[in-house]
Amino acid sequence: MGDLFSRPEREYQYVAIDIAIANVRRFDIDDMQHFCQWITVNAWRDTGDNWRQFFSKYLTFHREQKPMVFALFFKNENIWLRRIAILLQINEDFSLDTDMLSAAILYDRNTDDKQIQLAIGRALRTYSKYNPVWVRNFLRQHGLSMVAAKEARRYLLSYDFE
């Protein structure tokens, strides 16, 4: 992994992440902690989102470890790790833990970083496909940035939003 991440071309990082995703069933929670170090190496949105996919896929096989995996990212000083905390459950539908999502969003709702704000909006927008009432209520109760709120409301436009 280190050899691929030490190369300047981002494509090598994509290969490393793809290899990790292909082998995700072989890893345990200790390995998840180890993989966190690679998220911040030459970090950018696309590599961070690919790492998020890896951790989310891991959780499909280890549901009981969701709180431990979430804790790897939640309240971390690094924005790319916190972005994963926000987006970790993005592929879940009715199994999404709204308390976990709320905690991640509320922790970063005043963060000025655009990637964080886009992640907040994306997470809410995606979850609104499954639970628009919850998302609508969350938006009413919590002041979010214009960027996050606009992204979150994208699918809610077909609903009566007051």
Domain parsing of the chain, residue ranges: 2-158
Nearest to 137 by CA among 150, 122, 158, 152: 152
Task: Provide, rounded to the nearest whole percent, the portion of the chain with pLDDT above 90.
Answer: 81
- Res 158: pLDDT: 60
From residue 95, give the alpha-carbon distance in Å to each of 55, 63, 66, 91.
16, 10, 11, 10
Q: Which residues of the chain have pLDDT under 50?
A: 161-162
What is the CATH number that goes with domain 2-158?
1.25.10.90
pTM of the model: 0.92
**Separation of CA 13 from chain center:** 18
Residue with tokens 């976990």: 100
Other CB atoms within 10 A of residue 49 CB: 18
